Amino acid sequence: MSDGAGKARVKFLLPFNPAAGNRGRKSGDSIMMETRRSAFKEERLRRTNRLSLMLNNREMRALGIYCNRYRVKNKSGFLRETIMKAILKKFEDEHPSLWEDNEPSLFNQNV
């Protein structure tokens, strides 16, 4: 939702009003706000790369049971989040540190 000038138009709805029968909004009521930051952020975070994943019957059944048990509504988001958590944890575990020495043990104590 951006115009040619690189600005995005963001639509905000009026807050919920329980006294009003139509949830506090009338047709056509909205606040328009233009911002450059959101246009840049939308472009940067837009998911354009597709990934295909194949599962066997047992894996698919396990995924279905997990999603039903823990009320996962968005399987794609769940898989994306799970994969990225595993990748970031691996990166963090293997990140080089200033002191690469392992913990001292009974056979290897640097005193």
Residues 6+ apart with CB under 8 A from 66: 72
- Quote the CA–CA distance of 1 and 89 in Å, as a whole number: 35
Q: Which long-range contacts (CB under 8 A, 24 or more apart) does 10-19 make?
A: 10/34, 10/35, 10/38
Task: Read off the pTM.
Answer: 0.51
pLDDT tens digit sequence for 17-71: 555 555 555 555 444 455 566 777 777 788 899 999 999 999 999 999 999 999 9
